[in-house]
Amino acid sequence: MQDKTSRSMILWFFLALFLISAFMLGWLLLPFVSVLILAAVVTGIFKPFYNYLTRKISPATASFLTCVLVFIILFIPTVFFVGILSKEAYGLYLMGKGAAISDQVKTVLENSKILERANLVLANLNIEITGEQLNKVLSELGKVVGLFLYEQASSIASNVLKFVVYFFFMVLVIYYLLIDGDRLLSFIVTLSPLPKEHDEKLIQKFKDMSGAILIGNGLGGLIQGVSGGIVFWLFGLKSAFLWGVIMGLLAFLPIIGIGAVFIPAAIYLFLKGRIAAGIFFVIFYFILSGGVEYLIKPKLVGQRVKMHTLLVFLSIIGGLKLFGILGIIYGPLIVTGFLTLTDIYYASYQELVAPNNDC
DSSP string, 102-133: HHHHHHHHHHH-HHHHHHHHHGGGT----HHH
pLDDT at 174: 92
Distance (Å, whole) CA 224 – CA 221? 5
Distance (Å, whole) CA 74 – CA 80? 10
User: Residue 193 carries which side chain, given as an amino acid letter?
Assistant: P
131 in Cβ contact with 288 (< 8 Å): no
Q: Over its length of 359 residues, how does the chain's per-residue pLDDT go in tens digits?
A: 556 667 778 878 888 888 899 889 888 888 888 888 888 888 888 888 999 999 889 999 999 999 999 988 888 777 776 666 666 655 555 554 554 444 555 555 555 455 555 555 555 555 555 555 555 555 555 555 555 555 655 555 555 667 778 888 889 999 999 999 888 888 888 877 778 788 878 887 777 777 777 777 778 888 888 898 899 889 888 778 777 877 887 787 777 788 878 887 887 777 777 888 888 988 998 898 888 877 777 676 655 566 777 787 888 888 877 877 777 778 888 888 888 888 888 877 777 666 555 54
Task: Read off the pTM.
Answer: 0.65
Helices assigned H by DSSP within the chain = 2-29, 33-54, 59-70, 76-97, 100-112, 114-122, 131-157, 160-191, 196-211, 218-234, 240-250, 259-271, 275-291, 297-301, 309-323, 327-344, 350-353
